[in-house]
Chains A and B, each alone.
Chain A
């Protein structure tokens, strides 16, 4: 645990000392703000709940992109610069390495996601919004960030370059998002399996509408667990290859 926190602390400092973390957060806040004004608020009168729902709809996209951009460097960059040797030659387990990296990325992502809270808060000025709706939406966004960050951590662990890591993350994430398209043409019982894996359509829409379903929470946490475990196993196996 101590090794994990040390790695997380250093990585967090790495984000703060580089332009990359600030640039990604700034870009996400800018795009979120523009989309909130243009799409969620728009020119047509709407119910406040609909405004919030649309806010969480496009925030899904920006959160996914930010998660990929912030995690693709995690391990791949250390491998490129050779600093991975520091951890490899230390009495720190691979799960501590992966956990530390993931924790730092999640801290930045959570800060970024929660920094958008002023937008739904603005709706209070002229509308009426349920706190529960906002809470559910942010829970969903954080779970999406956590799942995609886990995928990004895995992709970074298996890749030699950050670009390859980013590409791998995109491929896995997009595959999970478009599962609902595949489910449309699949036959039972495969359709149930494919439909269940659909990251956005099956498991995120509920959060957008202000619902927190245990099934959805378990799904996102499962993705986190599976990809972090795979990343950890891959890092451990490198010593034997």
Chain B
């Protein structure tokens, strides 16, 4: 649905985006992840037809952004970080106006409006003046204006910023609902939030795409083995002995809390099942084994830190993950320390 090749965008002499290339399939939800100033919004604005690329090709449904920008804009729904709303208008009046501005007839908008209201959970607020709505509701109206013309691609720039926890949960379900009829591209700098909504993540740093893949792939890209967060019942020394003896374990860190021991373990290869058998065999009560998803922020920081060197982009080893050729610097494992 979206094909971007060698996208570069300059503001004066500053390159906000450099040589970015990626593809997004139809009905896929993809997250664009990066720190503030990384170039996320620039990519989204180019895809939405608000800005032209300085170099490279942007195709949305086969339509070139520079050749047929108006045709591209018909296929795109865009919500910037601050929803563009006329505060004095009523919700339904505003959506009707936007729908017609996007090229729909009045009859088409009237037919589409109930579905959009339902998708964005705005049915009860149809007659309310936008200026009187809460921040969360304004975000929903922002999404509604982005989908009122039934676009093939919906682009949401930081849709969850400024929302409270309850609104975030609601917004996630609204975004997931968009997948039923559109390809969705979301930007965020909050990794844990984006990870719960998207099918795939593109990591951007200093204007370059430094990694892409699923959450698990990104996590795995930092090492050859799986990273686990394990909680067992047993003595600390027994647990340490079991891990130290194991050939499956590359490194570990232990924390004792009463009769429970928490272990952060790095395995040699994806040997999770065998590792759990070893723990049980050692007489330890396995309470919980999870992928170390709590370290997402760390993964992101390591990816972006390692990508500081331009060479990081040139890795051809993995066609999915454009991970750095150099491994990120890691703390010595317990085994190394013991040795």
Contacts and interface: CB of A to CB of B under 8 A. Distances in A.
A2 B101 CA distance: 8
B73 A91 contact: yes
Contacts of A61: none
B82 A82 contact: yes
A85 B84 contact: yes
A2 B89 CA distance: 20
A89 B48 contact: yes
A10 B86 CA distance: 10
B84 A83 contact: yes
Contacts of B289: none
Measured as residues with beta carbon below 8 angstroms from the partner, the interface class of chain A is 20 to 34
A18 B88 contact: yes
B80 A91 contact: no
Interface string B33-53: 000000000000000111110
Interface residues of B, number: 27
A27 to B, nearest CB: 22
A91 B78 CA distance: 12
Most B C-beta atoms less than 10 A away, residue of A83, A88, A92: A88
Contacts of B11: 241
Contacts of B49: 88-89
A39 interface: no
Nearest to A2: B100
Interface in B64-104: 69-71, 73-74, 76, 78, 80, 82, 84-86, 88-89, 97-98, 100-103
B86 A90 contact: no
A91 B51 CA distance: 13
Contacts of A84: 84
A52 B78 CA distance: 54
A90 B85 contact: no
B145 interface: yes
A92 B101 contact: yes
Given A18-B88, A83-B84, A85-B80, A6 B50 contact: no
Contacts of A239: 50-52, 69
A122 interface: no
A118 interface: no
A87 interface: yes
B97 A10 contact: yes
A105 B70 CA distance: 26
Interface in A7-52: 7, 9-10, 13-14, 17-18
Contacts of A3: 101
A93 interface: yes
A100 to B, nearest CB: 10
Contacts of B51: 239-240
A89 B78 contact: yes
A147 B89 CA distance: 30
Contact of A6 (B52, B80, B97): B97
Given A6-B101, A13-B88, 9 more contacts: A7-B101, A17-B88, A83-B85, A88-B50, A89-B76, A90-B98, A91-B103, A92-B101, A239-B52
15 contacts: A2-B100, A3-B101, A14-B86, A14-B88, A82-B84, A83-B85, A85-B78, A86-B101, A86-B145, A87-B101, A89-B49, A91-B102, A92-B101, A240-B52, A241-B11
Closest CB pairs A-B (n = 8): A91-B70, A85-B84, A89-B78, A83-B84, A17-B88, A91-B73, A86-B84, A90-B101
